[in-house]
């Protein structure tokens, strides 16, 4: 099976996987964990993060500090 790819959206208080739209841990290379306000962790869709974006303008620097390994794909690129 082909590995699926997704863009990681990193926001100040919440991050998410654009592949499945669920919360993601911005430290992970793949979407393994769904971060959410729930007592039990849920498995993510497993897509590999191949780029990152943010819903907010001006977040590029902090995103690149957090994930220097991921290419920046531009602000608000959530819908790709």
Task: Kindly list the residues in this chain that would bind Zn ion in the complex (CB under 5 A).
Answer: 17, 19-20, 31, 44-45, 47
> DSSP assignment of 62-74, as one string?
HHHHH-TTSPB--
User: Closest distance between Zn ion and the C-beta of residue 4, in Å?
Assistant: 8
Nearer to Zn ion, 12 or 42 (CB): 42
The answer to whether the beta carbons of residues 20 and 4 sit under 8 Å apart is no
Nearer to Zn ion, 3 or 61 (CB): 3
User: Closest distance between Zn ion and the C-beta of residue 17, in Å?
Assistant: 3
């Amino acid at each position: 099976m082909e590995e699926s790819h997704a863009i990681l959206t990193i926001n100040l208080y919440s991050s998410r996987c654009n592949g499945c739209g669920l919360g993601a841990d911005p430290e992970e290379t793949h979407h393994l964990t769904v971060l959410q306000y729930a007592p039990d962790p849920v498995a993510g869709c497993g897509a590999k993060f191949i780029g990152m974006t943010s819903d907010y303008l001006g977040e590029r620097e902090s995103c690149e500090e957090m994930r220097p390994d991921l290419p920046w794909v531009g602000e608000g690129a959530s819908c790709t």
